[in-house]
Structure 1
Amino acid sequence: MTPLDPATRAALEAAARAARDGAYAPYSRFTVGAALLFRDGAMVTGANVENASYGLSLCAETVAASLAMNQGRRGGLIAVAVAGGMVHTEGLPVTPCGRCRQVLFELASLGHTDPLVIGLGAFETVEMPLSALLPHAFGPGHVG
């Protein structure tokens, strides 16, 4: 897990909060934004996209990871910030769901990193390495 300098961390958190503004959440009204920080300083953001067929909805972290992969990023993930709440307001800190933890692990494992995950809330922030959120993860090294 790579430590973040205060300016980089502030920019990452601001990017996650800004990404949340692009969320499409007409059903749950729970908007989420995610920002992924890579070793080269690049940030990729995403917002959740709901669907009337709920199972087809996409989480912000999965959107951001998909965009990063489509940009050719394979590894180098050092930090993730997630901001969420009811209709653009923050409540308790939000961390990636199980599916998103797996998606993030896949991306991180390609570069052999254990990114810092920052869950942002209105008055509280939680942070921990991805490995603490997804212990004994299943990844690319388990297949093939």
Structure 2
Amino acid sequence: MDAAEIISRAAGYLNPTERGDRTSGGVATALLTKDGTLFYGVCIDTISGMGFCAEHAAAAAMLTAGQSEVAMVVAVTRDDDGLSVLPPCGRCREFLYQIDDRNLDAQVVLGPDTVATLADLLPERQARPVPST
């Protein structure tokens, strides 16, 4: 799957909804696993800070299905200028890394012609402690 296709797949899940001071669906993510399965998620924004990013929702679906290794991920939104690709926030970058160390090799789509690895986006990450035996 290339960047354009995964962007298009994610865009199909955009469904901005407002309920009072809460919003959801304004950002959608498509997450492709190493075995070729696609998982999707949308953001949920609440005033109390209890919401979460679209990447978290897609990762939760992936983990629920018993998988953890990401091949490619993208987040998209739509505004007056059209469809835009969003880079994952720092929390989402770290979250994907902490789910599975192998995700450092995941391709993160930053635009139709721009892809970086998660490792590229986490250059100063801390080494994870090794459990004592």
- Tell me how far 1:33 sits from its aligned partner: 0.8
State how many pairs are aligned: 128
Residue segments in structure 2 that go unaligned for 5+ positions in a row: none
Task: Say which SS state the counterpart of residue 47 (structure 2) adopts.
Answer: coil
Q: Which moved more, 1:56-65 or 1:82-91?
A: 82-91
Structure 1's consecutive aligned runs of 4 or more residues displaced over 4 angstroms after TM superposition are: 23-30
**Other-structure match for 2:75:** 82
Identity %, equivalent residues: 25
The residue number in structure 2 matching 1:34 is 29
Q: Considering only aligned residues, what root-mean-square deviation do their CA atoms show, in Å?
A: 2.8
Name the CA distance, whole Å, in 1 between partners of 2:26 and 2:13: 10
1:118 corresponds in structure 2 to 109
Match of 1:50 in 2: 45
Task: Report the equivalent of 2:129.
Answer: 142
Deviation of the 1:112 alpha carbon: 5.8
Tell me which protein shows more strand as a share of its residues: 2
Q: Report the TM-score when normalising by structure 1.
A: 0.73
Superposition TM-score, scaled by structure 2 size = 0.78
- Deviations, residues 49-77 of structure 1 (Å, cap 9, x unaligned): 11131x211100011111111111132x1
- The gaps in structure 1 that reach 5 residues or longer are 1-7
C-alpha deviation, 1:97, in angstroms? 0.4
Q: Which has the larger radius of gyration?
A: 2
